[in-house]
Amino acid sequence: MLEGECTSSEIDAQIRKAKAALEEFGYGPVAVSAKEFNDYMTGPIFSEDPTTLRDVLGNEYIMIHELAEIMELKKIGRKIDRNVIMETPRIPFYTAHLNAMVTELKYALHRGDTYWAKIRLRQHKESVLDDDPNLPEELRPRAKEIYEKYRSLAKQASERPLALHS
């Protein structure tokens, strides 16, 4: 990801907000420092991604995703620094990514944000399923299962009648 001009206090404030949302949602505990987050977001990656640190800090759902991804990597003993993405073998890295995607999608649907879930599912299909040469073949079925399951859940949720109160 590209570096953005963000202060440690800006990063910390967004981490606190996303951490509170995740823990209220039942995911946690979340323990990610501003330095870890900055290092993770600005370190080298093995694919092109035009997303900047500021882009991530400005989007609640992407913050949820990135914090969950970092926590998934920590669960398997990875030290979070600028090189963690490049130094983590592909299967554990993509497993963390897919777990974080599930967390993000569940969170969006829990909030009733089917629009966001559909956007992310389209991105998941286009950038992971259809066009990611680094996705390990053994994880492709899981990536496809996530797409199909959450596409169906988002469709069902968006078709539910709205309760209008007068």
7-42 confidence digits (pLDDT tens): 888 899 999 999 999 999 899 889 999 999 999 999
119: its two tokens: 């956007």
Task: Judge if pTM exceeds 0.95.
Answer: no
Per-residue model confidence as pLDDT tens digits over 102-116: 999 999 999 999 999
Dihedral of the alpha carbons of 70, 105, 110, 26, in degrees to the nearest 10: -30
Total count of residues recorded for the chain: 166
Could you tell me if residue 77 is left (phi over 0), alpha (psi between -120 and 50 degrees) or otherwise beta?
Answer: left
pLDDT digits (tens, 9 = 90+) for 59-101: 999 999 999 999 999 999 999 999 999 999 999 999 999 999 9
Top pLDDT among 47 and 125 is at 125
